[in-house]
Every structure is written in C-alpha cells, then in structure tokens.
Chain A
Amino acid sequence: MENQVFKKGRFTLLDGAMGTMLQAAGLAAGARPEEMVFTAPEKLTEIHRAYIQAGADIVYANTFGANAKKLAGSDLTVSAVIQAAVSCAKKACEGTGARVALDIGPLGELLEPTGTLAFEDAYSLFAEMTAAGEKAGADLIAIETMTDLYEARAALLAAKEHSTLPVIVSMSFEENGRTFAGVSVEAMAASLGPLGADALGINCSLGPRAILPLAKRLCKAANTAVFVKPNAGLPDPLTGQYNLTAEAFCGECEGYLNLGVSAIGGCCGTDPDFIKALARLVQDHSPAPSAYVPQSLLSSATRVVTIDGIRPVGERINPTGKKRLQQALASGDLSHLQSLAAEQESSGAAILDVNVGAPGVDEVQLLPKAVKAVQAVCDLPLVLDSSNADALAAALRVYNGKPLVNSTSGEREKMESILPLCKRYGAAVIGLTLDESGIPATAEERFAIAENILLQALRFGLERQDVYIDCLTLAASAGGATPEETLRATLLVKETLGLKTLLGVSNVSFGLPNRPLVNRTFLNLALWAGLDLPILNPGASDMMDTIAAFELLMGLDPDSQRYIGRFRETESPAATPKNKGATPLRALIESGLRTEAASETRRLLEEGAEGLALVNGEMMPALDTVGQGFEAGTLFLPQLLASAEAAKAAFEVIRNQYGQSDLDGPPVIVATVQGDIHDIGKNIAKVLLENYGFRVIDLGRDVPPQTIVAAAKEHGAKLVGLSALMTTTLPAMEKTIAALREEGLSCKVMVGGAVLTESFAMKIGADYYVKDARKSVEAALEIHKKEI
C-alpha cells in the first residue's frame, strides 16, 4: 500500500544508528545523547550528512529521548532540544532532497497498569514533543523502539492530534514475535494501522535475519506501508559490540526485497557503511506490492481474536437489572467489574461486552475507567457498549487495542456521530438493523438497513471487514415479528454482504417458561444461520455446551479435541472439612472451602435459615477461630485467606437474598498511596474487613491524597486505611494524612506496610499502626464497636 511517506516505485532508505555514532564521537556512558545538540551540533550534522551521502532518504533527528520525563533533572527543555536537533538534521539535508524525521522513543517509564504513568500523562508528554517537532520544521514523525502498545498508541494519537505530519511507528520484538510487554506483531498492526499510522515497522532488538519472519507477518497484517530498521546482529554482553559487518548485514537483508517492505535502514550497531551497502542492494529493485490480507479481528494489547469461527461475547458487565453492579458502579468501585471479567474469561468468553449505563452514573467519566480496570485484569478484546457517543469517545481514547463499538443503527444522525468516531480511533462497529421508523418486521427490510450501514461505514473510511451487523433478537412472546425474521435477516447479511453477525441470544425467551430451552434452541438456529458472535452469559454452561456441539458437528473442531476436552470428567478430590465437631458451614469456612461454603449457605437459606443468624452464628465464629490460629502461628496466611474467601462467598449468597443495604456495615476507605503500586497487603485487608461486614471502598493503588480526601468525605467514612511499601512513598502517606486533617475530617487513619514502624506511624499522625490485615479488622471493630 502506497502513501505519502515512502515514495512509489522505489525503496526508501532510512538512516542507521545515532547512539552508536554518538558513542564513537565521545558520548560518555549514561550521559544524555540530547545534550550533544548543544555541545556538539556540528558533530550531529556531520553524522546526518554521512547517512545522506550513503543514500538515506530520511534521517532521524537526535530527539529519541527528548521528552520532559527523560530531560527532568537537566537544564534542557523539550522545545529547545527539538528545535536544535531538527536544525542540525535540516542543515545536513540542505540541497539533497532528504527528509527529517522527529524521532520519538519510549518515555523510559512503564505506563499503567503495570506502571504508574497514566495514559493521559504519556499523551501530554508526546504531544509536547510533536508540536515542537512540527514547529522546528520536521518533515515526518518516527515513533520507534516501542514495546508497550499503550505507549505507542499514546504517541501516535498525540502525533495525529498535535501535528499534520505523516507518522511512522516501529516497535521492537524478541525472536518469539512479541515485545517485552507481550505485544505480538499482529496486535501492533491491528491497533496502530487503523489508528492512523502512515507506516508500521520493526526496529532494534534483533538482526535482519531474525526480524525477517516477523516482517513477513507484519506485511500480511498491516494495512499500511511496512519498514524495518534491524540491529547489526547481536551485541556482545560485556563490550556491547555488534557482530555483523556492513556486508553481512546487507546479505541478511536480501530477503526483504520481495516481502512487501518498502523502506529499510539500520538500528543499533549500524553506521553509514551499512546504509551504503543497503543502497547498492536496493538500487535495482522496487518494493513488492502490499501483502496485506484484510481480516475481521478484535484485539487487546496482548491478544488478537480473529473472527473466523464462533466467538462468544460475555454479556455480564451490564448493570441493567443487576442491583449489586449498579451500586458498585455508583460508588466508583470497579473491583466487582474486574471479577466479572475474570470469571467470564475463565468460562470461555472470547470477547467481553462492557456497559456501565446505570442510573446516577456519569458514563463519560466511568466508561473509560471501567475499560482501564477490565483491561488491567483481562486480555480479552472488549465491546464498548453505550448509547452515549461522548462516553464511547472517551472509552475509545483509552482502550488498548482494537475494540468493537456497540453500536450505531441505521438512523442517519447516529451513523454520523458513531462512524467517524470508529474511524478516528480505529475501532470496528456494530450496526443495529433499525432506523428512524423503528425495527422493521421483515428480514428483507432489516437487510436493507444493514446494507445502508455498510455503505455509510465505507463512506466514512472504515474497512468492510470491520462492520458487524446485529439483526436484533425480539422476545418470541411479544407477538409481531417472529424470531424467524431475525434468523433470516442474519442469514441474508452473512451470505449476501459477507459481514460478521452478532445477536443477543437470551432476549428471545423473555416472559416464557423454561427459558433455557428456548435460548438453546434459538442459539442453535442462529448459529446455523451464520451467527458469529453470540452475546450471552458464558457461565450458562448449557449455552456454551451448545456452541461446543455445534462446532463439533460443523467440522469447526479439528479431531473433536475441544468438545472432548470440555466433557472429559474432571476428578476433583472431595475436600473434607477438618473440623468434624463444628456445624458444617462453620467447618467449611474454617477449612477454606469456597464453593462448598457457598452451596451450603444456599441450602441453609432454602431450608429457612435466617441470613443474619448464619453470619453471626456460623461465619463470625469461624473467622475468629481462624484469626486466632493465625495470630498464634498455628495457621498461615494462605489458610487465613482461604477462609476469608470462603466466608466472602457465603456472604455473597446471603447478600443476594437480602439485597445489599440490610447487610452493609459502615464504610472503610482503603488505598495504596500515591507513587506506590504494591497492593496485595491492602487487598488482604480488604477481604478481611469485608468478612466482618464493613463496606470497603477500595480506591486502588497510586492514589493521590485529594482522591482519598474526596472519598472519605463523600462516604462519611470514620476510618481510612493507607498502605505504602517503599521508603520513597512514605512521604505520600504522610501527605495524605495531613490532607485529611486539613479538611477537618474526623476520620481515624490506619496505616500498614513492610517498612513502617509503630513509632513512624505515630510520627506521621496515623491513629493506628496495623502490622497485618487482622490488626486492621481490630482497628475497624474498635472504632465502630457501637454499630456492629
């Protein structure tokens, strides 16, 4: 595929290493290469000139690390460095026709969720660079050596939104075809191509021979031009010297001539001789045509799901009719949503729908947060589900990968707001077959709407394979159009338009007895009609069984492996409670048997037991026994936690019976302080506090003081728990306590974490030093003794 970045009909040559050349020119170990733009500008111009003389059409300015994060602590500013660096390169280009790329490397700090750098902050850092680069007169932007897709997305988005220059993006892979962060070549292409990169490439990390098979995959997956900048082989671990000569490098590059790659250069260890050799290699060749194969696929940073079979979409992250989830969302607690994600993944969902449209919820604020929370614990691609276009835009910005947007309809206004959004952020889209006059009765009318949605999507620049159609399942009991019309419409869309289809399955049985039977039967028919994405509860095993059987019968399950695997009897050793003398529930909790504790609780409630009596008579004594054992050193942390989780499971059963409010105790705020990301200790405390009936509001990790103050106020909490594990983050803990006091809040503060001591805790103004999670329960009980 051709575009304005690389010239048509001939290979574009990129330059070679800058760092290697700077070191040869006397750059000290650990020194900032960017300083050279002021200390030795003529050296830089000389290096660029040598590359241009060797044949380079594009040279990368010395701006790789010129971001505010890396320059912090020096007296260099981003705009001054970029201005000077681009000038050096432009000077070398004068009269040659060579172009200057603003070089953007990684920020040097990991982004959320593994790190603490927020996506939005990374975006701002890149935006500053991009704007400075365009102002300095760069001809294009080269984002390179990325290993985190999220960071690459932040950089690309910033480049597209803060300049008008073409943008090329390359990432660094290991031989297994993944980056350090686990991003595959295909995941890169799926996300960054549609997001608007003008070319995608691979640079650094490996030599030409090792990159070749990866480049081949990239050519197939990328809807853009493709380029490579390999290293001069591998470095010697101790001396840092690379092992390929210019000739050997060039020999290894021959394989790129017929691949579909259209630009080539070098990375670490290469110099102008390498580029000269490449110039000789490519002079009699022109790039092979694009090898891009369009495919319907969705992705996260580390997983690509190709829609070439049945891919169940988990529907459970949707608060409609779920009081528990509504309340969690309203209080800003996203951990419930995270467990729903993890559960659906383990039940076999391939994709998850995320909808947070509950009463009293600001979707524009919440949907992006929910997306980040789910992506932190689950690598399935997501369907972003909202009727609010602003919420979708906010979520699309922060989504890491290529999502599916749910949805547009055939209404003109809707298409004009949703389709450009999908194009801008590189998302696929669901089209619902309804328009201004509602849902048509017949399959043919629905098909006509689908056809129009496809037409409009193409007009807005989406690719055909990214349009998915939902022919709308209506309740069979409702009268009017029969579900048969939905099935026929699905068949028509699939066969005539060749688009992927999806349907919510369980609507069909609304209001009928024996709903599972109707759902299952409808699912069978819909799959036969060509349904690709059934939206369902993957925890409903009869539905998942149906899909497994369908795949078996249709030859979609080679050697029936998946089917047989699904129904192979799994022998689980019958767990026996240790404490034979106690009543079963109590013993089950003491033994930490989660599933058994939940089912026993259900049984007891069905027999007429009273929930509160179970809590006070069975659960609390069990927890006390275990807690005492832990303190005496006869039981250990894993057992304490197993019991806590069993109690939690039992508590959930009771809670579902009562509805939430009757059982909820006083609120306790917990957080890991700003700058710190160690949260296991805090999470242990949370589970135990919940066991004792406290309503724990978990603000997560790396939480700024003002967020904690705001939450304490909003919930009227009498107790705030803070965790910090590093000597460097204790000051943040102190600041948080001071902020709570300044607000005049009367709440008590408990603090914990490995490096804390009782005396330090008191010194920074804490009320309780809790050396372990049990102590946090004791503190909470002491403060709230009158209410519990």
Chain B
Amino acid sequence: MQFKNVLPVDRAGVLSALGYRGLPADEQTEAKLTAACHAVQQAAKPRFLYASFPLGAGLRLGTSETTLTGRDIAAHLAGCSSVLLLALTLGQRPEAAIRKAEATSVELAVLMDTAASTLAEQYANEAERQLRQQTETQGQFLTGRFSPGYGDLPIELQRDLLRLLDGPRAIGLSVSQSGILLPRKSITALLGIADHPVEGKLAGCDHCILFENCVQRKEGNYCGKPSL
C-alpha cells in the first residue's frame, strides 16, 4: 500500500541522529541538509504492508511454522490474542541516490542516509497510527512496535516475516543472507492485538546490542519509552 499523505523529513530528527543534542546547525550545514532532505524526499516511494495472525501455543503465528522466540517479545505480547506484522520500505531509489552522492561527497551521503533513516521511522509511525485507528474502530487495541533484532528477538526472524507477508512481491522488500533488509531504508515490526487496552513492554536498553555505544541513551533519550 502507498501512503496518502507525504511526510516532510523531520529535520530536527536528522540533526538529533547526527548528535546535535538540540543545538542549532551552522548555516552551511543547514543548506546542505535542505538539499539532502529534498533529494531523499524526491527519491522515496514509501509503501507498507501488513497482515494479522492469531497467536498460537508457543507464540506460533497462525498456522505457519514460524514461532516468536525470546523473553522480550513474550513480555511485549502478554495478553494479546493475535499479532499484526508490519513491513515498510522507502524503496530502492533513496539507496541509489545515496550511492551516487557518495561518489562525490561523503558529507552529502551521510546527511542523506540519516535523512532517509529518519523518514523511514516517520512513515513507520504514520503506518502504526493508521493501523491503531483502524484496530480501535473494530473495538480492539494495539501494542507499540517491536522489531526483529530488538531485545532478544532474533534478527533472523526477518526472513520468516517477509515470507509470511510476501514482502518481495508486494512492496519490493527482501532480506539478505545476513538478515539485512533490502532496500535498507525499511522497517519490519510486530504489534500485539488484544481486546483490551495493551501497552506492550518494549525491551528496554539492558538487552540492546547498542547498549555501550548508543548516543541517544547517553543523552537520556530511550527508544524503549512509549512514544507520545
């Protein structure tokens, strides 16, 4: 599916991801950031895809052979009867545009790469918002998003999720042997569905692979916190 609304890149979000800690960027960087955001915006063709599966014993997804493993996802889905799989991609063109930029300016490439990651996250939020609304009109409730590789949920799960969703055919999203989503500016996530309000339990930083290096955590921005 395509999005009906076009989201402008969240510039503050890009700067924050580059470590600006809320500080303003200089005029030159601002100008280049504008160019980078524009290029990403032009290239991005966001599409998303979802499907729901009843949760069986051992967190099996419907009648498939896929089960969700790990303590963190079990905690997140506690009290949920089924799970919504979400996959989203900005498409291949941002990738090509970033490669092209790299051939002449690493700086521009870095700005574009960060802008594209930020934009993918924004569209994931938007998809989640729409799905939440849709679910709630049916009298059901959604948890937040939980992605493979997060906490102790293995990243290798990407392969199964994309097969269940028919990701390559439906939105051109596939996964490499190493579990890298391709195109790279893509997100997959699981959201629990329950007949009563659920918050889910995001894994928190303790299990996070980025625990030692995460700039965000050091600055007190926990992605584990429920977003507003």
**Chain A residues within 8 Å of B, Cβ to Cβ:** 28-31, 106, 108-110, 113-117, 145, 147, 172, 179-182, 204, 237-238, 240, 302, 335, 338-339, 341-343, 346, 376-379, 575, 578, 591-592, 633, 636-639, 641-642, 644-645, 675-680, 683-684, 686-687, 726-729, 754-757, 771
Contact = CB atoms under 8 A, between A and B. Distances in A.
A591 to B, nearest CB: 7
B123 to A, nearest CB: 16
A578 B163 CA distance: 54
A29 B104 contact: no
A343 B104 contact: yes
B18 A636 contact: yes
Contact of A636 (B25, B105, B106, B182): B25
A268 B160 CA distance: 21
Given A30-B64, A106-B169, 8 more contacts: A147-B172, A302-B96, A339-B104, A637-B18, A641-B106, A677-B180, A726-B179, A728-B156
Interface string B128-163: 000000000000000000000100000110001001
A118 to B, nearest CB: 12
Contact of A677 (B25, B29, B100, B184): B184
A109 B92 contact: no
A376 B99 contact: yes
Chain B CB within 10 Å, residue with most, of A145, A302, A641: A641
A677 B176 contact: yes
5 contacts: A109-B182, A110-B182, A237-B50, A638-B32, A754-B213
Contacts of B93: 182
B96 A114 contact: yes
Nearest to A753: B213
B109 A680 contact: yes
A680 B111 CA distance: 11
B102 interface: yes
A645 B106 contact: yes
Contact of A680 (B104, B110, B212): B110
A117 B26 CA distance: 41
A755 B100 CA distance: 26
Contacts of A338: 103
A114 B92 contact: yes
Interface in B72-105: 91-93, 95-96, 99-100, 102-105
B228 interface: no
B178 A180 contact: no
A113 B183 CA distance: 11
Contacts of A181: 92, 172
Contacts of B174: 108-110, 115
Contacts of B50: 237-238
Contact of B107 (A335, A376, A645): A645
Chain B CB within 10 Å, residue with most, of A106, A182, A684: A182
A116 B176 contact: yes
A106 B168 contact: yes
Contacts of A728: 155-156, 178-180
A636 B65 contact: no
B65 A30 contact: yes
B209 A755 contact: yes
B16 to A, nearest CB: 11
Given A238-B52, A341-B103, A591 B28 contact: yes
Nearest to B29: A638
A630 to B, nearest CB: 10
A575 B28 contact: yes
A302 B95 CA distance: 14
B19 interface: yes
B32 A28 contact: no
Chain A CB within 10 Å, residue with most, of B163, B176, B213: B176
A418 to B, nearest CB: 30
A727 B180 CA distance: 10
A638 B52 contact: no
A368 to B, nearest CB: 18
A343 B104 CA distance: 7
Contacts of B172: 147, 179-181
Contact of A115 (B103, B164, B182): B182
A726 B182 contact: no
B104 A110 contact: no
Chain B CB within 10 Å, residue with most, of A28, A377, A676: A377
Given A181-B92, A641-B110, A680-B110, A755 B210 contact: yes
Contacts of B213: 754-757, 771
B177 interface: yes
Nearest to B167: A108
Contacts of A237: 1, 49-50
Given A145-B169, A341-B103, A377-B103, A638 B110 contact: yes
B62 interface: yes
A233 to B, nearest CB: 15
Contacts of A346: 104
B3 interface: no
B171 interface: yes
B43 to A, nearest CB: 10
In the A-B complex, the 3 residue pairs with the closest CB atoms: A180-B172, A641-B107, A675-B178
B20 interface: yes
Nearest to A727: B209
Nearest to A639: B29
B69 interface: no
B5 interface: no
Nearest to B149: A727
B182 to A, nearest CB: 4
Nearest to A235: B170
B106 A684 contact: yes
Contacts of B164: 29-30
Given A339-B104, A377-B102, A680-B109, A638 B178 contact: no
A16 B89 CA distance: 29
A471 B132 CA distance: 67
Nearest to A724: B178
Given A180-B172, A181-B92, A335 B178 contact: no
